[in-house]
Amino acid sequence: MLSEISIRNVVLIDALDLELGAGLTAMTGETGAGKSIILDALGMATGARSDKGLVRAGAAKAQCSASFTFADDHRVWGLLEQADIDFDHSEDIVLRRTITAEGRSKAYINDAPVSVKLLGEIGGTLLEVHGQHDGRGLLDPTTHQSQLDRFGGHDDLLDACAAAYDTLKTAADALMRLKSRQAKSDDDRAFFEHAIGELDRLAPVPGEDADLASERKLLQHAEGALGELRSASEALGEDGEYESRIGQALAGLERVRGKIGDDASAAGAALQMASAALEKALLELDEARTAVGDAAGAFTFEPGRLDTLEERLFALRAAARKYNVDVDGLQDLRQKFGDELLDLEGYDENLLKAQNSLAQAQTRYNTVAAKLSKARKVAASNLDKKVVAELPPLKMERAQFITELSAVDDGPTGHDQVRFLVSTNPGTPIGPLEKIASGGELARFALAIKVALAGALDGKTQKVMIFDEVDQGVGGAVADAVGRRLSRLSGGAQVLVVTHSPQVAASANHQILISKSTKAGSTLTHVVTLAAETREEEIARMLAGEHVTDEARAAARKLMQAS
């Protein structure tokens, strides 16, 4: 429900804060008083096409806000959540827009800045205007399908169709990806086969790079090491050379000891220690010569080992550079290439599976979409009958209404395009509703359609409805029929009607009087919500004209009592 409109500096309106009630509200007043200005301002707040022409002369900017309240299960809450806009179910949804005198526009939802496009999307879920001056509502052909589906109660079929289409699209995307790989599969297969063969011949082993590098370093220094070891061996003398000299020294010491005996003096102890040291030197010299020989043997490698090792090491590192991995990663890369090749080898099988999946998904989708099309044809026939039945009381007994279904490409809502076609008079061609009907005819067609659809209205998709010029060119019994239908429609939704008809105004639950005045060269629009007694006087004026008579008041009272 639209609970409040706040307007600042829009054309002839200086400032207006208007509260609205449930049910049917009639907006009345003399032609040119400014009723359309309120609709323009409301359209501006809800994202309709607007420009700087709405800015009141002399003002820097125009502003309008519209406050709505809807049930917790209305679809608008989900849209606000998707748009990341804060909201509270217990508070109004406030749509606001400003336009400067230079034409710059800003939009807000619950005081959060948004694009005008998003403002229009949210506004379109809350409000629809039926009249020739607004491109939304029934003037937007894209809404016709959803209205027919609500009338036909196609929710289950729509859900099944959307699910089937999602499966179909997934299957089609999978097949497309496979086919896109087909063009390069031969090149890929050749690459993988070559790379696998190369890596198999190389047969890399984890850790081999470090081991080979260490051995290479050793081999590169082996020749110098052998030279040093040979020098060390030479320094230790040939076998027996130093042993003979040490032996001679020992013999000399023994001769001295023989002469002095086992003297316990300090000299005798020193001789004993010197003999022990020479005996130890003999043993260690032999061990040192053996150790140096062993070391030299450790630096003796098979001829060509360094060349063989470097060839292997360079081959591993070249492969690693080629495939952009570490040497230790070559073995894992071989496994990966093998898996890729297996996938390619199974391409034909995978392609056949994907084609079968797509065919099955297409069959399922076609079945559900056909059921939905069939249900729509039945619903279209019933809707046509209901709408046509509503036309005679609205002075359109010679008009025709046809719900046309035409085939379009597969989509989540089936393969039907729905469009409402009309003919206003016998012999005139049938064409799109938005192109054939005049302002008043369009509003009455919209009223007939909405009355026919009334049983299909629900809280999730309910909108505030505005009818502009619905009583254009009619009066008497026809105006009374219009009023009764608007009243009936407002039982399930809030309805606003711009009217010059006393019969329509009398049918309303609330009445707003719009007038204008000129003072000091400035013209301003005034808006007031009428109380019951003043409503009677206004409806009497609408009946009698400038001079209101008692008879007009009595007729107004009778109209209000009958509504």
Can you spell out the DSSP letters for 359-397?
A: HHHHHHHHHHHHHHHHHHHHHHHHHHHHHHHHSGGGT-T
Overall pTM > 0.95: no
Assign 116 to helix, strand or coil.
helix
Residue 194 lies in domain: 182-345
Query: What is the per-residue pLDDT for 379?
Result: 95
Q: 313-333 pLDDT, tens per residue?
A: 888 888 889 889 888 888 888
The answer to whether 141 touches 432, Cβ cutoff 8 Å, is: yes
Give the side-chain half-sphere CA count within 13 A for 228. Answer: 7
Cβ neighbours of residue 438 closer than 8 Å, sequence gap 6 or more:
132, 424, 472
Token pair 């007031």 is found at 528
Token pair 């019994």 is found at 477
Residue 9 CA to residue 60 CA, distance in Å, equals 9
Cβ neighbours of residue 282 closer than 8 Å, sequence gap 6 or more:
243, 246, 247
Query: What is the per-residue pLDDT for 360?
Result: 97
Query: What is the per-residue pLDDT for 131?
Result: 66
Alpha-helix runs per DSSP H in 265-393: 266-298, 305-322, 330-345, 347-390
Q: Are strands 416-423 and 105-109 parallel, antiparallel or unpaired?
A: unpaired
Q: Nearest CA to 37 among 463, 535, 498?
A: 498
Q: Give 3-state DSSP helix, strand, coil % of the chain, rounded to 5.
A: 60, 15, 25
Q: Is residue 256, in this structure, part of any structural domain at all?
A: yes
Q: How many residues does the chain have?
A: 563
Q: Is residue 375, in this structure, part of any structural domain at all?
A: no
Question: What does the angle CA 164 – CA 167 – CA 173 come to, to the nearest 5 degrees?
Answer: 140
Classify residue 63 by burial, with Cβ atoms within 10 Å: 0-12, 13-18, 19+: buried
Classify residue 127 by burial, with Cβ atoms within 10 Å: 0-12, 13-18, 19+: buried
Q: Is residue 403, in this structure, part of any structural domain at all?
A: no
Q: Is residue 307, in this structure, part of any structural domain at all?
A: yes
Amino acid code (one letter) for 541 = R
Query: What is the per-residue pLDDT for 56?
Result: 92
Question: What pairs with residue 320 in β-bridges?
Answer: none
Give the side-chain half-sphere CA count within 13 A for 306. Answer: 12
Query: What is the per-residue pLDDT for 367?
Result: 96
Token pair 């073995």 is found at 331
- Residues in the chain with pLDDT < 70? 131-137, 182-184, 215, 218-244, 246-248, 250, 252-253, 256-259, 261-265, 267-268, 271, 282, 289, 291-306, 346, 437-440, 455-459, 473, 563
Token representation of residue 98: 């400003």
Query: What is the per-residue pLDDT for 5?
Result: 95
Residue 374 CA to residue 370 CA, distance in Å, equals 6
Assign 337 to helix, strand or coil.
helix
Element (H, E) at 533: helix 532-544
- Structural domain tally of the chain? 1
Query: What is the per-residue pLDDT for 499?
Result: 87
Residue 99 CA to residue 107 CA, distance in Å, equals 9
Classify residue 14 by burial, with Cβ atoms within 10 Å: 0-12, 13-18, 19+: middle
Question: What pairs with residue 65 in β-bridges?
Answer: 6, 96
The answer to whether 110 touches 126, Cβ cutoff 8 Å, is: no
Q: Is residue 106, in this structure, part of any structural domain at all?
A: no
The answer to whether 273 touches 281, Cβ cutoff 8 Å, is: no
Q: Is residue 83, in this structure, part of any structural domain at all?
A: no
Give the side-chain half-sphere CA count within 13 A for 211. Answer: 7
DSSP state of 238: S
Q: Is residue 241, in this structure, part of any structural domain at all?
A: yes
Q: Is residue 144, in this structure, part of any structural domain at all?
A: no
The answer to whether 122 touches 78, Cβ cutoff 8 Å, is: no
Which phi and psi angles does 26 have, rounded to 5°?
-100, 135
The answer to whether 233 touches 296, Cβ cutoff 8 Å, is: yes
Q: 54-79 pLDDT, tens per residue?
A: 999 889 999 999 999 988 888 899 99
Token representation of residue 355: 């084609």
Residue 556 CA to residue 502 CA, distance in Å, equals 8
